[in-house]
Amino acid sequence: MEAEGTLLEELSDRLDRFHYDLVATTTFHAAEAQQRVAGRVPVTAVMVGAGFVGLVREVASLPTGSTVGLVCATPRGADNIAETLRLSGRTGVKIVSAHPGSDEDLERVDREADLILMSREALARKLDGRFERPARIREWTYEFDPSGIELLRRQIEQIQSARLEADGGGPGEPAQPPPAASDSRQAAIARR
């Protein structure tokens, strides 16, 4: 099985170009993923693991008046993290955000932030190198909870069994790949 990550904004285009058996995403993004997928494939929402919760707790433990910097590949990604922090119930913390191409905002985050949360994509672009005091930087990740991975594994098994049955295969025989196998993917992991 092959899985690949993608941004929610790219889901519709990818589903037009490739075959996917399902889309897996976090519970936070499930509704939007379902809307973008529009019934073409199942969407599985998976709980995030403890690392994510630990970051939310770290933000919650900051003194009132602290500033949290959010650095993402897109402005929308920063908005999503800010919304997650807002939903956690933490008040009294100022949020400043930035993305590649906003040098002024990146400088503001460096100047003002007591803690900097960076998306995987922002780290891949090496934006962390733009900040003094790297001890403030944390990677904002959506690692899946092990029980969610088991749920996902079972759903994939069901899809593979249904395909095997549809192809007329017997028990223990591998399912035939869908047409255009060179453009086939079995799962897309949607993220912001």
Dihedral angle over CA of 159, 162, 167, 169, nearest 10 = 110
The mean per-residue pLDDT over the stretch 168-183 comes to 51
Q: What is the pLDDT of residues 55-109, one digit of tens each?
A: 888 888 899 999 999 999 888 888 888 888 887 777 789 999 998 888 999 999 9
3-state secondary structure of 46: strand
Sorted by where each starts, the structural domains of the chain and their CATH numbers stand as 3-48+144-191 (no CATH), 50-140 (3.40.50)
Cα gap 11→67, rounded to integer Å: 33
What pLDDT, on the 0 to 100 scale, is given for residue 25?
A: 86
Q: Which residues contact 132 (CB under 8 A, 6 or more apart)?
A: 110
Residues 43-58, mean pLDDT to the nearest whole number: 78
Residues 59/88, Cβ–Cβ less than 8 Å: yes
Q: Is 2 left (phi over 0), alpha (psi -120 to 50) or beta?
A: beta
For the chain, how many residues are written? Answer: 192
Say if residue 119's pLDDT is above 80. Answer: yes
**Does 177 or 38 have the greater pLDDT score?**
38
Calculate mean pLDDT across residues 143-169. Answer: 82
Q: Where are the alpha helices (DSSP H) in the chain?
A: 11-17, 30-37, 50-60, 75-87, 103-112, 120-124, 146-166
pLDDT at 169: 66
b (16+ CB within 10 A) / e for 44-68: bbbbbbeebeebbeebeeeeeebbb
Q: What is the pLDDT of residue 182?
A: 38
Average per-residue pLDDT in the chain?
82
Identify the band that residue 181 occupies on the pLDDT scale cut at 50, 70 and 90: very low
Output the CA torsion sign for 113, 116, 119, 120. positive
What is the rounded average pLDDT of the residues 5-19? 88
